[in-house]
Amino acid sequence: MLKTIPPVGLSNFMQERLQKILAKAGIASRRKAEELIRAGRVRVDGKVVTEMGIRVDPDAQEIECDGIPVAAQEKKIYILLHKPAGFLSTVHDPQGRPIATDLLQSIKERVYPVGRLDLDTEGALLLTNDGELSQKILHPSNEVNRTYVAKVKGKPSLKKLAALSTGIELEGRKTWPAEVEVLHSEARETTIRIVIHEGRKRQIRKMFEAVGHPVLKLKRIAYGQLELGDLASGKYRFLGPGDIKMIFRK
């Protein structure tokens, strides 16, 4: 196990906790970074580190995660991708299935999805190497809205729509209130706009399944007030400071 002795002098102030450095570099959130360290996937100066709280100098020491050097001052980039259905929201799949980052061939920086979209769900997916922003968006206390358009089987009653709006029991825990609006309705299927700020796995699909109207097609169209707009499927655009602010607007 690697241990460091803080050097005397100014360089001591350049040291940071290893998990914080990984988060800043966009490798993972601090919690996930701790898991990477415990799993022995992080090396400092060629030695595996599994100790929590270790402090290193990213400018003077070589840090690697899964054998890939971690850039201490990597340029932060922010991308909005229109993820097509059939692509995984991950950076690696052992089964070799298509992944979202396959669509970013011209991007040199190593970016990661902010949260996930199901394999069969399309729409807005944020990718960045800014770990701190990713944590801010995903943390429940910030209540960042996600807006979806769901095409569901059948025609939900007003009572069922009201239940979705006020919250329903899912896996022993009630969902937070949601905004629900019927956009189009036919005998066999209904198109509904729904806004939530939770990030449970397959939550929208599970909510409609619970009221007896399974999802036929699902698309995320916005984070906060940052809308997907007319961005074509499989395409992406870079985000600026103004776009980032839109994410946190209700």
Kindly list the catalytic residues: 118
Query: How does DSSP assign 44-81, residue by residue?
Result: ETTEE---TT-EE-TTTS-EEETTEEPPTTPPP-EEEE
Cα 15 off chain centre by: 28
> Can you tell me the distance from the alpha carbon of 208 to that of 152, in angstroms, rounded to the nearest whole number?
8
- Tally of CB atoms within 10 A around 195: 17
| φ and ψ of 21, to 5 deg | -65, -45
> Can you tell me the distance from the alpha carbon of 156 to that of 212, in angstroms, rounded to the nearest whole number?
8
DSSP 46: T
> Can you tell me the distance from the alpha carbon of 130 to that of 76, in angstroms, rounded to the nearest whole number?
6
Q: At what angle do helices 131-138 and 30-38 cross, to 10 degrees?
A: 120
- Tally of CB atoms within 10 A around 148: 22
> Can you tell me the distance from the alpha carbon of 198 to that of 175, in angstroms, rounded to the nearest whole number?
8
| φ and ψ of 32, to 5 deg | -70, -35
